[in-house]
């Protein structure tokens, strides 16, 4: 029989990465081995937890199809709420594509729980940039919590970035809600571990047994095998274009925790009295189910990319956070870039190694909600999705690039290598 295909292997066009960068990559990977094994163990525990929640809640083929109109009795939507509640250890959950972002979900949680005359206290210093306007720290007359008579106070972090337990005791006494940000966000403080969150919950509830603890869980889901509700928090909130959506959910957010508080949040998202009963799922259910199903594995890939970034950037003499030996509480690696040029070269290099929009050059811009210019490398399937490899950097001292995500380790690793190559090409990196 005649030869029907060409037996020669297809010629692959490789990445043009300097030999010295490739050697650094090899060295970095060698020192990651133990931590990679630990990440795989956590992914397995979490993967089993997710599978069990699917089985226990009888996720069915019918759950994958959506509804239109009011969405009364949407079995896919209601079952997904129950699946999330079980996975995260809550009584109930609200998982909706209608949340436009993590900030929106957090806003619903705060407005859902707080009332005029109440006090909100942040236990972890300044909250994430976009929440400043929501709370009313910046801006006036926009309908912020402050405009509605909710007062705000914050417990500053100690000089080493750790929470100030003594001060928490003082400031939590007369507050209705204690707010905790698990991830480092755009700052160099350490992310909180779940055990660290448990200490804060204990301190706040010790001072005031009636206080509600709300945790901004962004970037923290599945990093450990426990979640903050299991550390005593009352509500957790996150974004579906981060960890729990696995790059598959197209948009959305979630809130999980106590039944009563979740209902109050649902009243804020839709209408008082209607809450969780309305809201059609359109065609979003399947991607949200697949997202949470894949999330433990995808978070593991993002964590491997993060640990690799930490190692190789340290080998190139850039200061990185988390610091050596620090236990991870989120998927972020912050890299101090020394100057603006290096920061921009790094971010543009990450973009060059991305699966989508690799040919696009990201530029610094005035992003809504942020008070300095931000450059964002995000060559992602879902716009702005940061469980996909992305590097964000506010253009301000200390010129830190916040690197996170990576749907697969192969692509995440290569994104970092193209960034190093870009820095080298622009004389922002010396190689020996
Ligand atoms: C991403 C994030 C948020 C929410 O941001 P969105 O861009 O609105 O989704 C809030 N807090 C932290 C710590 C975050 O990382």
pLDDT score of 2 more than 60: no
Ligand 1 centre distance from Cα of residue 183 (Å): 9
Residue whose C-alpha is closest to residue 71's, from 307, 245, 284: 284
pLDDT of residue 68: 97
Average pLDDT of 356-382?
A: 91
Element of type H or E holding 418: helix 409-425
Provide the pairing of β-strand 320-321 with 333-336. antiparallel
Q: Model confidence at 341, in pLDDT bands (50, 70, 90)?
A: very high
> Closest Cα to residue 46, out of 328, 60, 54?
54
Top pLDDT among 367 and 307 is at: 307
Q: Which tens digit of pLDDT belongs to each residue from 380-421?
A: 999 999 999 999 998 998 999 999 999 999 999 999 999 999
pLDDT, residue 3, reads 58
Q: What is the pLDDT of residues 190-248, one digit of tens each?
A: 999 999 999 999 999 999 999 999 999 999 999 999 999 999 999 999 999 999 999 99
Bigger pLDDT: 9 or 148? 148
Per-residue model confidence as pLDDT tens digits over 151-164: 999 999 999 999 99
Per-residue model confidence as pLDDT tens digits over 48-91 = 999 999 999 999 999 999 999 999 999 999 999 999 999 999 99
Pocket test for ligand 1, best of 97, 102, 236, 383 (most atoms within 8 A of CB): 102
**pLDDT of 11 over the 70 cut:** no
pLDDT value at position 352? 97
State whether the beta carbon of 388 lies less than 6 angstroms from ligand 1: no
- Is 103 close to ligand 1, i.e. is its CB under 6 Å away? yes
The pLDDT score that the predictor gives to residue 367 is 84
**279 has pLDDT over 60:** yes
> Is residue 381 within 8 Å of residue 247, measured between CB atoms?
yes
Which residue's CA is the closest to the ligand 1 atom numbered 13? 185
Secondary structure of residue 85 in the 3-state scheme: helix
Domains of the chain plus CATH, in order, are 10-44+298-425 (3.90.1150.60), 48-292 (3.40.640.10)
Residue of the nearest CA to atom 6 in ligand 1? 102
Share of the chain above pLDDT 70, in %: 97
Q: Is the pLDDT of residue 12 over 80?
A: no
Distance between CA atoms of residues 119 and 261, nearest Å: 17
- DSSP 8-state assignment for residue 365: B
For the chain, the average pLDDT equals: 95
Q: What percent of the chain has pLDDT over 90?
A: 91
CA distances from 280 to 67, 95, 285, 394 (A): 5, 12, 10, 37
User: How far is ligand 1, taken at its centre, from the CA of residue 103, in Å?
Assistant: 6
- Whether the CB-CB separation of 336 and 399 falls below 8 Å is answered with yes
Residue 9: per-residue pLDDT: 58
In this predicted structure, the answer to whether residue 18 has a pLDDT above a threshold of 90 is yes
Cα distances (Å, whole numbers) of residue 200 to 162, 176, 207, 326: 11, 15, 11, 19
Q: How much distance in Å is there from the Cα of 128 to the middle of ligand 1? A: 7
219 CB within 6 A, ligand 1? yes
Q: What is the DSSP string of 29-67?
A: HHHHHHHHHHHHHHHHHHHHHHHHHHHHTT--GGGGS--
Torsion of CA 364, 368, 369, 375, to 10 degrees: -20
Distance 27 CA to ligand 1 centre (A): 33
């Amino acid at each position: 029989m005649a030869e029907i295909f060409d037996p020669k292997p297809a010629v692959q066009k490789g990445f043009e990465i300097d030999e010295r960068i490739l050697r650094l990559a090899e060295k970095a990977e060698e020192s990651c081995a133990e931590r990679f094994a630990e990440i795989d163990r956590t992914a397995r525990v979490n993967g089993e937890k997710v599978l069990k929640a699917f089985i226990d809640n009888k996720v069915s083929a019918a759950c994958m199809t959506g509804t239109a109109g009011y969405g009364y009795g949407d079995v896919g939507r209601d079952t997904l709420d129950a699946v999330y509640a079980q996975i995260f250890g809550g009584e109930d959950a609200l998982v909706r594509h209608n949340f436009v972002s993590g900030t929106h979900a957090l806003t619903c949680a705060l407005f859902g729980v707080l009332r005029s005359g109440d006090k909100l206290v942040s236990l972890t210093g300044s909250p994430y940039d976009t929440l400043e306007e929501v709370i009313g720290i910046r801006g006036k007359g926009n309908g912020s919590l402050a405009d509605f008579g909710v007062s705000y106070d914050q417990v500053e972090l100690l000089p080493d970035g750790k929470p100030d337990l003594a001060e928490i005791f003082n400031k939590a006494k007369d507050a209705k809600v204690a707010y905790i940000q698990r991830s480092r966000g755009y700052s160099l403080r350490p992310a909180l571990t779940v055990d660290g969150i448990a200490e804060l919950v204990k301190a706040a509830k010790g001072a005031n047994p009636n206080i509600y603890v709300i945790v901004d869980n962004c970037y923290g889901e599945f990093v450990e095998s426990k979640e903050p509700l299991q550390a005593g928090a009352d509500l957790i909130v996150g974004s579906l274009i981060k960890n729990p959506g696995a790059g598959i959910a197209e948009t959305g957010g979630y809130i999980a925790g106590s039944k009563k508080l979740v209902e109050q949040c649902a009243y804020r998202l839709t209408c008082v009295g209607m809450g969780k009963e309305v809201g059609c799922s359109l065609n979003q259910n399947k991607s949200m189910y697949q997202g949470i199903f894949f999330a433990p594995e995808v978070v593991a890939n993002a964590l491997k990319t993060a640990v690799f970034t930490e190692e190789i950037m340290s080998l190139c003499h850039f200061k990185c956070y988390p610091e050596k030996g620090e236990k991870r509480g989120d998927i972020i690696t912050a890299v101090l870039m020394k100057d603006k040029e290096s920061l921009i070269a790094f971010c543009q290099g990450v973009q060059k190694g991305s699966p989508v929009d690799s040919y696009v050059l990201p530029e610094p811009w005035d992003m809504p909600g942020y008070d300095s210019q931000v450059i964002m490398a995000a060559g992602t399937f879902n716009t702005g999705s940061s469980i996909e490899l992305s590097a964000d950097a506010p253009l301000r001292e200390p010129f830190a690039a916040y690197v996170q995500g990576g749907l697969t380790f192969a692509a995440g690793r290569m994104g970092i290598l193209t960034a190093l190559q870009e820095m080298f090409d622009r004389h922002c990196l010396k190689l020996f």
